[in-house]
Amino acid sequence: MKATLLMAIWWFLSGVTPAVTPAPGIFSQNPEIRQVVRFLSSESVQDILTGLDRSQNLPWGEIRTYVVPLTTHKNPKISARAVQVMVHHKDPDASSMIRQTIAHSIQAKERVAAINLLGALENPADHAFFLRLLRIENQETRVAVISWIAKLKIPNAVMPLIQLLEDSRDVVRAEAVRALAAVAQKQALLSIISRLSDSSQIVRQAAIAVLKPEDLPLARHALMRLLQSGSRAERIEIIKLMPFGPEIKPHYLDLLRTSKNEEMPSVIQLFSGTMDLEMLKEFVNLASTGSYQQQLQEIAPKIMVTSVEPLYTWILSPQSNPNIRNFCALLLMNSPDPRTPEILRRAWRLGYFSGAHITFLYRNLKEPLPVQFLFELFSDGTPADKSAVVETFIHRKDDRLAPLFLNALRGTPELSLLLLGYAQATGSRLLVKPLLEILKTPQIKISRRDVLMALKDIAAVEDMPAIIAAGPDLQRDELVLWSEILWPRFSAPLFTSLDRLPLTTPELEKELSFFQLLASTRRLPGLTRFRKFRMPANPQLHHIWMHYALHGASEVPQKLTPSLQAAWMDLLPAGAPPAQFVRALPADPHLLMALARFNWPRERLAAWFDKGGTCVRINVSHAWMRHQPRNDARVWSWIEKENHPLVLLNLLLGMDYDPRTVDILKKVCRAQPEACRNHLPVLTAGWPKPALAALGELPVALGDTPRTGTPSHMMRFHFPSVPSNLSCLAVGNPGQGFRALSILPESDLAVLHLTGETVTLHPQYR
């Protein structure tokens, strides 16, 4: 006692206060948390309620110490809301508070609200308490408790729920049936089946609803008995549950003949399987009214008929109306009878069906098309019939109609609107000639851009002269598509023909500059028109292409902006750095990023790696991987600190197998699966078998590795626009890793010195 008193006097005299751990929210770096803490510490009821509402979306650990004391606030709204916030954050300490509320509740409404809160908490420690609550006789309380037992799937609840099946109130018994199905369907199956003979329709319907097809062997007898004596709603549910068979048929026919108009749609949709003549007549009578066409069209694909003869009779009978014929034709589509096309042809000739309607029947059919019949429809049908036939062939991606289609183009101009779709769907070479004619003489309803899109996949080498000739008449995006068609099929004769084109627009000059650059990579002589090329006063990107195509890396272009200088250096091979930058390094970030790709001294690369941004580190790691000795010890210190997946892949490409590599590679592949898939074969080429096994299912999850065919030494990418926050574009090429390139406002990029066919793009944003 004396020691405690002396210690207190010392604290008082010295002015030292005991250490107190401050609540975490006070000094939080998150301004939202600090503001909510101020609200929760306020004297105003409205401020506190506002703070509680906003605290639901904040980290619970930082605001808990402010919310929990409010559960004992004198204002009931605040205390109740504080408990709700604790429940929202699944704080187990809320259980005792809610239990007290339940125990002291007088009104059932208040008790049920507290039970719902306790259930939403999902605390396993409350399971036994829920079972004890079943002793409360009040109906609302008991139903609420049973529903939460079902939602939480509380174990050891089977016997208490079975006992509740004897409750005098049908609502409680029905809820108990649903809870038993949720908690232990197999264990309580017999008890659920016993409720099929309950005196209450509510309970019987609940028992039917929870039964599954695998329960039918035990429940079949009870269901068949209820099918005879149950209400219409119960019979519909039973027929929906049980497979359709001879024992179900009489009950279904009774429902079909006695149901009201509003009940008929659900009754119709119950049928599936094989339909005999008696059932077929009932459905044909329903179809004749036209009231249930939608439901009949939905179930028709699920119906097979025992004989197609009645269908033929009804289709060709003058007494049948269009609704009957349509339903019978839908059923006929499910039959493999070879006479079907002939019957439909006769019906079309008699005027019972339009050609468009018949083609619609065949459009989604999985069976082979009756080609000769459709050819006849196309030749002799109306313009609407012809269009419908073409659309069916487009849908089926079938080009067998192409010769007839081309012959009909002049006589039926509206068919020309389907030319592009037919060409793109089928890729038929027969359709190239009319597309080239449209390219020469454009039409109002068909744009040249769409024609070029269609030609991109189906044009061949022999079509190139006609496509080249259209170049001077094209504009902007059309010229980009024009180039995309030409350069994969690039050859010396094609390049020579480009020299004869009139230079009509600056956009065409840009495309020819690209082809000049492409020709230089393939060591072809350049275009004669550009032999006297001189860099203009205000150069653009395609002028840089032209300069590199004519002079390569031997002549450095002068007076370029930093961004154009960076674009020129991106075209150079990754060898020795440009001489003009060896002594004096530039300050511009674009230039620095472009320079980091070259073979610099180790210390300079290391300094750039430690201080550079993402784009610079990508290029430094690329240069280190290509020019420095493998397995450098310094690289592991970088790998341990680095988080960017592309930088890590570049660094790993310069390392042999190490046990630490496996976990790093898994992390990288989760972050960048496409990049990892393309480089995984190179990365793991020399790995031992146990190390490959340690990767587990990773190679399978990533998918197939890229093809290894003829390498594309150059690729071009044209973008609709360049985002303002784009730092650089990382270009991945298997075996070469990733390099970061600048994108100029022209939204164009030419990538040289590639190996392999696969190139991936990875934009890097600020």
Q: Which pLDDT score, from 0 to 100, does residue 702 have?
A: 57
The whole-chain average pLDDT of the chain stands at 85
Q: Which pLDDT score, from 0 to 100, does residue 703 have?
A: 55
Q: Which pLDDT score, from 0 to 100, does residue 375 have?
A: 92
R_g over Cα of the chain: 39
Q: Which pLDDT score, from 0 to 100, does residue 706 have?
A: 52
Terminal Cα-to-Cα distance of the chain (whole angstroms)? 65
Running DSSP on this structure, what letter comes out for residue 1?
Answer: -
415: number of Cβ within 10 Å: 20
CA distance 214 to 218: 9
Q: Which pLDDT score, from 0 to 100, does residue 685 have?
A: 80
Q: Which pLDDT score, from 0 to 100, does residue 700 have?
A: 56
Q: Which pLDDT score, from 0 to 100, does residue 704 have?
A: 57
Q: Which pLDDT score, from 0 to 100, does residue 82 have?
A: 92
pLDDT digits (tens, 9 = 90+) for 620-669: 999 888 888 888 888 888 888 888 999 999 888 888 888 888 888 888 88
CA distance 118 to 730: 53
How far from chain centre, in Å, is Cα 28?
Answer: 37
Q: Kindly tell me if the per-residue pLDDT of 314 is higher than 90.
A: yes
pLDDT digits (tens, 9 = 90+) for 414-470: 888 888 888 888 888 888 888 888 888 777 677 888 888 888 888 888 888 888 888
Running DSSP on this structure, what letter comes out for residue 578?
Answer: P
pLDDT digits (tens, 9 = 90+) for 77-92: 999 999 999 999 999 9
Q: Which pLDDT score, from 0 to 100, does residue 465 have?
A: 86
Q: Which pLDDT score, from 0 to 100, does residue 22 have?
A: 38
Q: Which residues contact 399 (CB under 8 A, 6 or more apart)?
A: 393, 422, 426, 427, 428, 430, 431
Residue 11: pLDDT band (50, 70, 90) is very low
pLDDT digits (tens, 9 = 90+) for 106-140: 899 999 999 999 999 999 999 999 999 999 999 99
Please state, for a pLDDT cut of 90, what percent of the chain lies above it. 28
Q: Which pLDDT score, from 0 to 100, does residue 721 have?
A: 82
CA geometry: angle 533, 538, 541, nearest 5 deg: 70
Burial class of residue 422 in the structure, from the number of CB atoms within 10 Å of its CB (0-12 exposed, 13-18 middle, 19+ buried): buried
pLDDT digits (tens, 9 = 90+) for 243-287: 887 888 888 888 888 888 888 888 888 888 888 899 999 999 999
Q: Which pLDDT score, from 0 to 100, does residue 69 have?
A: 92
Tokens 């310094």, residue located: 634
Tokens 């350069």, residue located: 487
What is the bridge-based pairing of β-strands 726-733 and 737-741? Answer: antiparallel
Output b/e per residue, 667-705; b: 16+ Cβ within 10 A.
ebbeebeebbbbbbebbbeebeeebeebbeebbeebeee
161: left (phi over 0), alpha (psi -120 to 50) or beta: alpha
CA distance 439 to 453: 11
Q: Which amino acid is at 248?
A: I
Residue 12: pLDDT band (50, 70, 90) is very low
Q: How many residues does the chain have?
A: 766
The model's pTM is 0.64
361 within 8 A of 333, measured Cβ to Cβ: yes
